[in-house]
Amino acid sequence: MPLATYQFPQGFLWGSATAAHQVEGGNTNNNWHFWENQPGRIANGDKSGLACDWWGGRWQEDLRNAAEGGQNAHRFSIEWSRVQPGPDRWDDHALDYYRQMIKGMRKLGLQPVVTLHHFSDPLWIYEMGGWENEKTVGFFEKFVRKVVKALKDEVSIWVTFNEPNGLVVNSYIDGCFPPGKQDFKAAFTALENLIRAHAAAYHAIHALQPDGLAAYALYYRGFFPKRAWFIPDVLVTEVLTRNFNDLFARAIQHGRVAMLLNKSYVQQAVGTQDYIALQYYSADMVSFNPLRPMQLFSSREYPRDIELSETGFIANIPQGMVQALHWARHFRLPIYITENGVEDSQDTMRPSYLLDHLRQVRRALSHGCDIRGYFHWSQVDNFEWERGWSQRFGLWGLEVDTQRRVRRPSADLYAAICRENGISRRAVKRWAPHMIEKLFPD
């Protein structure tokens, strides 16, 4: 009899993910508000503005849509600048509001997964040098203690930093995030301080909540040599992998911090990870290019004839998810896929992208990979950092001017997956019939 359903384990977490600055609106006391108001920093001159108006209460609508769509968890973040608007000032009203949001999630049957740092810093931290200043480590630890003490009765899964490897590259090498530098020395200083801050946050969480789970969320980028027979392509692929995917992992495993010729040792970071928070979107074909030193002498491109998102930002390469899960499995820790998704305002690519990637997750499970949850990016269209409003990742669309939510067909496909705890032939036939032969061949 042909397979009827790709079943997932009992208790699997199905959710979506959001981030404070991208959905709350009105965050005017952080580095991203400053960045948005500098000409040429954001695509089309966009500003986050009201974003998705979560601080105005629209979180209730979006999370109700998530819960009604069968989801049983939600990952979101705490905006540091709201909780600590100044070095010596705390806003308990902001913490009370986050507590209200978390209680609202619980009431809807959504398990909260809380990220403590998702790219944005208070303006006062930014003005004192941000992650290049070692004092930021101590300030972050105090913030973490304040938040965990206030919310630990409702939260048991914590993410210390979202994509610290991506943050370092975007902020200090590519220069598209604040402070907009292209400086390997500054990048290494920031990397070392982020690792120290993660370790401090991890130890603070466990001091306050011994049974809590804490980890950082890694942005895993798939890298494949364009010409497997050409040694320079293979070598630069390995260099990219070591200096992007493995940066934090080495520090957590062995305490070694290494970026190119820069090296140090952070003993307190060893073992500061209770699970793997894995984020995967796409993969690159890598070739050697001696003219690109800031890109570690590499060029990256997508394979020809591959399915691309509407701006060409993401390619549908599920083999990269296989590579990511194989990488994560070596740590012998539970794995949560804390972000995966595609920008697609017309919702034409999202169904195949979602199903292709979830099929690889299911295959990894069948081979003994300990995967505990999947969080789609994102529940609703939101402000996508330097790309502004030019990309639409939501299961639900957002009309920015009116704040009206628009249900996309993929919301129904994902709802069927969440409710059935699996990918069924019936759901695929209804919501993505073009994928039937691929997923359920006769």
Q: How many domains does the chain have?
A: 1
For the range 57-61, what are the long-range contacts, defined as Cβ-Cβ under 8 Å and sequence gap of 24 or more?
58/403, 59/23, 59/101, 59/104, 60/104, 61/405
The CATH number that applies at residue 42 is 3.20.20.80
Tell me which residue range forms the domain holding 72: 5-439
Residue 315 and residue 184: Cα distance in Å, rounded? 28
SS (H, E, C) 60-79: HHHHHHHHHCCCCEEEEECC
Residue 309 and residue 317: Cα distance in Å, rounded? 11
The answer to whether residues 186 and 132 touch, using CB atoms and an 8 Å cutoff, is yes
Per-residue pLDDT of the chain (442 residues), as tens digits, is 456 899 999 999 999 999 999 999 999 999 999 999 999 999 999 999 999 999 999 999 999 999 999 999 999 999 999 999 999 999 999 999 999 999 999 999 999 999 999 999 999 999 999 999 999 999 999 999 999 999 999 999 999 999 999 999 999 999 999 999 999 999 999 999 999 999 999 999 999 999 999 999 999 999 999 999 999 999 999 999 999 999 999 999 999 998 888 999 999 999 999 999 999 999 999 999 999 998 999 999 999 999 999 999 999 999 999 999 999 999 999 999 999 999 999 999 999 999 999 999 999 999 999 999 999 999 999 999 999 999 999 999 999 999 999 999 999 999 999 999 999 999 999 999 999 999 999 7
Q: What is the pTM of this model?
A: 0.98
Residue 92 and residue 102: Cα distance in Å, rounded? 15
